[in-house]
Amino acid sequence: IVVTQSPATLSVSPGESAILSCRTSQSVSKNLAWYQQKPGQAPRLLIYGASTRATGIPARFSGGGSGTEFTLTISSLQSEDFAVYYCQQCDNWYTFGPGTKLEMK
């Protein structure tokens, strides 16, 4: 299963919302996760099962979608949210998307 993400880079101002997209080449039902990675750090699980927040993840992070189209919405962006975001399909083994870099405008 091929996973694509768009856009490659997203420029947003703090306090605004960001919507990141993830598509899979075939249906993965809701077997999809989102991770955040900051420079020099390991990834962090944000969302699993397409829409369930992982332990300790703030409510401003929300995931949606099913089948082949998914979104990660980050509302009221804070400075610590600027990072690279990866989606991962977990329906047919595991493949990650190429990532979306969320940068400060």
Partner 1 sequence: QVQLVESGGGVVQPGRSLRLSCAASGFTFSDYAMHWVRQAPGKGLEWVAVLSDNRRNKFHVDSVKGRFTISRDNSKNTLYLQMNNLRADDTAVYYCAKDRYSSGWEGYIDQWGQGTLVTVSS
Binding residues for partner 1, rule: CB under 8 A, are 31, 33, 35, 37, 41-45, 48-49, 54-55, 86, 88, 90, 93-99
12 vs 54, beta carbon nearer partner 1 = 54
3-state SS string over 31-45? CEEEEEECCCCCCEE
Single-letter amino acid, residue 21? S
Considering the complex, what minimum distance in angstroms separates the CB of residue 41 from partner 1?
8
Least gap, CB of 16 to partner 1 (angstroms): 26
Amino acid at 93: W
CB of 74 to partner 1, least distance (A): 19
Q: Of 81 and 88, which CB lies nearer to partner 1 in the complex structure?
A: 88
* Distance in angstroms between the alpha carbons of the first and the last residue of the chain: 33
3-state secondary structure of 52: strand
